[in-house]
Structure 1
Amino acid sequence: MAQPELEIIVVDDGAPFRIWSHGYPFRTVRWHFHPEFEIHLVTATSGRVFVGDYIGAFAPGNLVMTGPNLPHNWLSDVAPGVTIPERCIVLQFGAAFIEACSGLFPGLDLLGLIDQSQRGIEFSDAASRTVAPLMQAMLAADRLGHPAIFLQILEQLLRDKCRRLLASVGYETQPATYMTQPLNHVLDHIARNLSCNLCETELAVLSGYTPSAFSRAFHRQTGMTFTSYVNSLRINRACRLLTTSDRLVTDICFDVGFNNLSNFNRRFQAVTGTTPSTYRHRHRENDRALLRSEESARPGHLSIVGNRT
């Protein structure tokens, strides 16, 4: 097989995971890999699934978990020109998060699930029927509802005794080799150097493409222009800094790679619909509301809602 393409996963608002859905055709429907874990539920179409060195068939309800840097792809048998509004739901999360969950809940065999996912895990139809409505609910829920549903999903995956491993015994991912693909190297360079000046022409040289060929290849792999892609990563990093630190907005602006505050504010508002300061304020209001809700739910907590006569 050709070298898989790197997918840079952007997690919104500094959350530990990302859940989203997409249709078919879509830019991520290709032979690709990423450092994050993924739980992938097919909701429509059938076709061929590729995970590591495994090739098999899939149909609606196909539920698979892949580990970090494990190449994968689902190719639907859809006639040319036909568009499917939703083909799958995708839940992605980092290694640090799932390992932290394992430490918090030692009674769960999450380490076993983590280890098995290095070869890709296909879950049973029964597990899929239980997990599918949970993933739909998580997709529709706000960020306050995500953690509880995520733990329910993990519980059902762990209970599935009929799950099977996909890639062959001894199969090993080779992320260093995958990175020899020209654009993979460029995407990694962008992610590591967001705070620096990033010039499309210079990165075209780095990739070995001509500027025009680089622009076409970049859009095919990411679904965005070079400028839009870089700005989206910078705004996402700014969101994380705004919600996880007390740093000044001006400092964050320059830290994420913008060279002036007015441009940063304009780009940020175009993406989030609000200014950086308002975004931080609303996020903290949300956190305070969650804290009050948790406190009121504790045993023995007395809530006085008013007097009755």
Structure 2
Amino acid sequence: MMGLWKYYWMLLLAVPIAGYSQAVRPVSSGIVRGEVKDKNSGLPLTGALVLVVNDTLRQQTGTDGRYEIKGVPTGYNTLYVDAEGYSGVLTESFLVTTSAPTLVNVELEKRMVTVGEVVVSASPFRPTTESPVSMRRIGTEEIDLTPGANRDISKVVQSAPGVLSVPTANRNDVLVRGGGANENRYYLDGIEIPVLNHFAVQGGSGGNASLVNPELLKSVNFYTGAFPAQFSNGLSSVMDMQMRSGNPDRFHGKLILGASDVGLNVDTPISSNGKTTLTGSFRRSYLQMLFKVLKLPFLPTYNDYQFKINT
């Protein structure tokens, strides 16, 4: 009987020890930092609250408008930023890694408050909440996780309502609401680019590989109607792509080997104080070497590069 009691007490002591060891198990995490500014004046905002969505992590900006949140779980995350007198902003999803801090800069707009006479009246119609149906916002997470898109922005938008694709193998032509492939307009940081794909045919913009590296994109707005004033030359659709800024802390590079090309991504500061940054990429196809060995009559080759300097 005494032997049974001895094992019983040993079991009771082992349970809390096991639970404690599981609770302190380290979790992979990274750092998120950036700056919060006034959208109109560009001045830094002091005391703005920065929250990690679906987490308890939070931080307030200092006198220089900067913040830094440590221990953010790796993977895709989203921030909510709010300040007194300003409208809150929910950022695009961004990828957090352990290799380098993630930079997320946010601009807030002042909340307009009008004080005056208020007239309350009943309406015979039931009000409904308006929702924009002609604009689709695409984040980097959706670009990475869309099945069959192979991280190609042209293939991602083909799953949008009212968009058709050309039933030809390896073609990225986009047909919106019955329009032609040459009726779409593409903008990168507000600058119009004539085509979006390599090997585009005359009168269209669809090739078999995208010109834009999705690694450098922050977000994409895809309009199928009701285009903003600055994009008034669109007929069927407008794709507004925004590039992210470079890392102000240290050099960060990535070598990518794909099914048909090899590429190099660079993310680095180019000034000692980190106020001027560079992000860019270069890609080159290598299928022509394989086709030459196989003695095929066609030798497709392409190169593309893009970069952004932010100061």
- TM-score by structure 2 length? 0.26
**With CA pairs under 8 Å and 6+ residues apart, which has the higher RCO, 1 or 2?**
1
Question: Which has the larger share of helix?
Answer: 1
Name the structure where strand makes up a greater proportion of residues.
2
